Structure 1
Amino acid sequence: MTEQHESRWSLAHTGNRVLLAVIAAVLIACLCGGTDLPVGTQLVILLVVGGVTYALVTLLHRTRR
């Protein structure tokens, strides 16, 4: 049988999913930075957005198999 190699740019790689989650979280954090939210709240928002993004992308990747 031949093995099918996935592109290293695909979301099959955990590092790519983490990078996407970090980028999404940083973008949202930048948008929150213009508000008067306390820093602690901004950090919580950053972590939640990153976690949700990673979980969603991972879930969508696994259902496509």
Structure 2
Amino acid sequence: MTEQESRWSLAHTGNRVLLAVAVGVVLGGLCNATADLPTGAHVLTIVGIAAVTYLLVTLLRRPRR
């Protein structure tokens, strides 16, 4: 039998995207609460944080064996 990865692991692209969006929304909300950004800047903050989170998780995940 081959070893199967958990569907909850960060090896799946969808899980990494979901994590990135969740972190982006939370941190973007915190930034908006402290800085009172206009809507466009708030959206760009969320997208930027989500992109950086996705890249970090993708680059730091353990490769498959």
Shorter-chain TM range is: 0.7 to 0.9
String of CA shifts for 1:23-59, please: whole Å, max 9, x gaps: 1001012112323211111111100000000011011
Percent identity of the aligned residues? 53
Distance in 2 (CA, whole Å) between partners of 1:49 and 1:17 is 13
Number of equivalenced pairs: 62
Runs of at least 4 residues off by over 3 Å: none
Task: Report the equivalent of 2:50.
Answer: 50
TM-score (norm 1): 0.85
For 2:9 and 2:46, how far apart are their aligned partners in 1? 24
Q: Alignment partner of 2:56: what SS?
A: helix
Alignment of 1:1-65 (within 5 A): 2-34=1-33, 35-61=35-61, 64-65=62-63
What secondary structure, in the 3-state scheme, does the structure 2 residue paired with 1:29 have? helix
Cα separation, 2, equivalents of 1:17 and 1:42? 22
Unaligned residue ranges in structure 1 (runs of 5+): none
